[in-house]
Every structure is written in C-alpha cells, then in structure tokens.
Amino acid sequence: MANDGYSVAKALWKMNKDVDLAVNSSDFGMALPEWEDGDISDSTDPYNIHRNEIKNTNLGGRIRYFDFLNKVPRKKNMIGKVMARINLVKMIREYDIVEVHVPFILYAQFSGIPNVAYDAGWIRYFPYEKNFKSKLARRGYSKAQGIMITNPDTYSISDTLPYLDQKRIYFSPFAIDPDKYYPTAMEDLRSKYIRNNDTILLFSPSRQYWVEKGNDKMIKAFARFLKVYPNANLVIVDWSTDAQNSKDLVNSLNISDKVHWIKPVAKKQLIKYYNAADIILDQFILGSWGTTTPEAMSCQKPVLMFYKEEYIKRAFGENPPILNSFSEEDIYSNLLKLTKDADLRRSIGIQSREWIKKTHSPEIVAKKHLEILTECL
C-alpha cells in the first residue's frame, strides 16, 4: 500500500537496471503507482479508483498490470480467481528472481524461481494465526531465498521465529525521493485552517486504527494542548477502522471546531498538506514508521511518532531527529516544546530532511535492493 515497490523500481530504471514492476490492477487505490505520480482529483475514492480516469500520468519504466480480481466475489468467479493465481505463477517464471510483496509470497513459493519476501509489516500477524493463508505465508517466508524487512521493530518478531534463517533476513528502508518531497510554501492551503501567523497547524495523515496508530492518544494530547494554545488547529485524514471512533472522541472532548477532517488525498496533494503544517503527527504504538514519517521529514517538517530505539539503531546505526513520543503525555509535552520554540522546529526540520536524504534516498535504497537480490540469486 505504501507504493515502495514503485519507488524502488523508478530508481532502478534510472540506473538502467533490467527490472519490471508487476502491479495488481484491482488492488486498493493507494497501492497503485498512479496514486503516487498521477493527477488525481481530491474527490477520488481510493477504494474505487479507475486507472483509465487518471490524467497526466508519466510513470516510466516497464509496468505489468495483472488483475487478481480482488473486488469480484469468490462465488461469482471462482474459476477466474483460480486462473489469476495460475497466471501469476506463470508470469513469475519469466524472471530470474522476484521481490514479492504481500500477499504474493503465497504463490511465488510454488514457482520454482528464487524469491525475496518483502515484508512491510505482515510478519506482525501471520506467525500467530492458524488459518490456511497464514500457514502458507509462514511456509513462503521459510522457503524464500531472503526476507527484506522494512519495519525495524519487527526484528523483535523475526528474531524469535525458528523457521526463519537469520542470515537471510535483511533490512531496507522505504525509498523517499527528496526531489519530490521537498519544502515549499503552501500559504493558500494553510490559510484554509488558520486565522493568523501565530496559529500552529498540525497534520496527522495516519489511518484511524487505534490499536496500531494510537490516534486516540494523539487526539487526547491535542485537547490538552489546546488549553495552552487555543488557536491551534489539527487536520486529520478520515479513513480506516476507527474513523468514527476518532470523531466521537473529538466531539466528546468538545474540540470539533479545532479538528478538520479530510478524505484521503493522492501524493501530490498530500505533499501540499505536509508543507502547509508546522508539525506532523504520525503513529504512536508500533515502534517503526511507514512512509508518512520520512515523507514529512523530507519536506523539512518535525515529526512526532514512536520508535523503538533498540531496533532503529540496529537498522540505521543511529536514532533519527524525531521527538520520540509514545504516551499521551509524551505527545503533549513534545507539542509544547516544538510550539514554544520556532527555532527548534526549523532546526529539527532541517536535520530531518538531511537525515532522510542520507538514509532513504531512492538511489541508496535501490542499491540495497540490488545487493540483496544479487546475494539471494
């Protein structure tokens, strides 16, 4: 869903590497390359996106679309779904090695082709579930020539799984292009949410899923923050499981006039929201970041989120310039610290962008992928 496969493929194409990107055309809209680089209307529903309606898309490189019939009920087209899986395995057999994102390790393991399981967090779930899909996932990971971890906190899981060869587990961060995610003035957008230059604007694009993202802690911390800075405003993206719970919490805290809900927006528009805000709030439970944190950091914005220092240091060799925030109190106190000191916000923003350029730049990440793939051949 983070479109990292596309971001890495773009970097490999620029390096003139012989790489194809295979995309399930009926996947969730945010998983499609067009969501990343196409001109998409703000009213577009990511759950019901049509690629042929997207304009000014220049994706470059070789992209192969296949249809896994995600939106077709199983009973209505069982034969079609079976054939889609057979055709996927046939396609995999055209290559020397494949990097397999969720859920396609289920099928790549039967292709006879060397494969690397790309894990963007699935490992948090399938080791503990007893259903057939999870059993196949465990088998796929155990049979893979390599496992690429993108979330350092999941080392705490992979280290404990006896069926995984620890020597075949690799780390690679998400690829974030600093030439795409860069600081720029967004006063027009900013003016929609604030009334004067002294007002702080916060932005939280993370999906509403309390058990993993900790949105409830963030909202409660913001309510406390408003008592000190009553002119602050918070923009939240309205999507996922706990969206209504978050709205109910906002209402119960009597801060509805300070919280502004927007629907999910494609990346070109998302970048504008990063730049319009003073501080970005991401996730406060899992202990690693997806793409929100590095995208915002690349836009030179200070970010509040929770990361597990032990595993972040293991992956990067150092901690990032992020004010680490786990509890409601952490979020509240760090918001106060950043709001009181504009120079600190600017300093952390500058450090953040430089750190992302050093650790997440597409060329650096693409070279890591090449090294891993080469080693696993």
List the pLDDT tens digit at each of the 377 positions of the chain: 679 999 999 999 999 999 999 999 988 888 889 889 888 887 788 877 777 767 666 777 799 999 999 888 877 789 999 999 999 999 999 999 999 999 999 999 999 999 999 999 999 999 999 999 999 999 999 999 999 999 999 999 999 999 999 999 999 999 999 999 999 999 999 999 987 777 899 999 999 999 999 999 999 999 999 999 999 999 999 999 999 999 999 999 999 999 999 999 999 999 999 999 999 999 999 999 999 999 999 999 999 999 999 999 999 999 999 999 999 999 999 999 999 999 999 999 999 999 999 999 999 999 999 999 999 99
How confident is the model at residue 57, as a pLDDT? 67
Using alpha carbons, select from 20, 21, 56 the residue that is nearest to residue 38.
Answer: 56
AA identity, residue 313: K
Residue 304 β-bridge partners: 281, 323
User: What phi and psi, each to the nearest 5 degrees, are found at residue 72?
Assistant: -95, 125
Domains of the chain, first to last: 4-174+363-376 (3.40.50.2000), 187-360 (3.40.50.2000)
Residues 237, 263: contact at Cβ < 8 Å?
yes
* Triad 165, 166, 169: Cα angle to 5°: 100
Judge if pTM exceeds 0.85: yes
SS3 content of the chain, % helix, strand, coil (to 5): 45, 15, 40
Interatomic CA distance for residues 40 and 267, integer angstroms = 9
Residues 302, 132: contact at Cβ < 8 Å?
no
Residues in CB range of 83: below 8 A, 6 or more apart: none
Interatomic CA distance for residues 329 and 213, integer angstroms = 16
Residues 92, 113: contact at Cβ < 8 Å?
yes
What is the number of other CB atoms lying within 10 angstroms of the CB of residue 247? 17
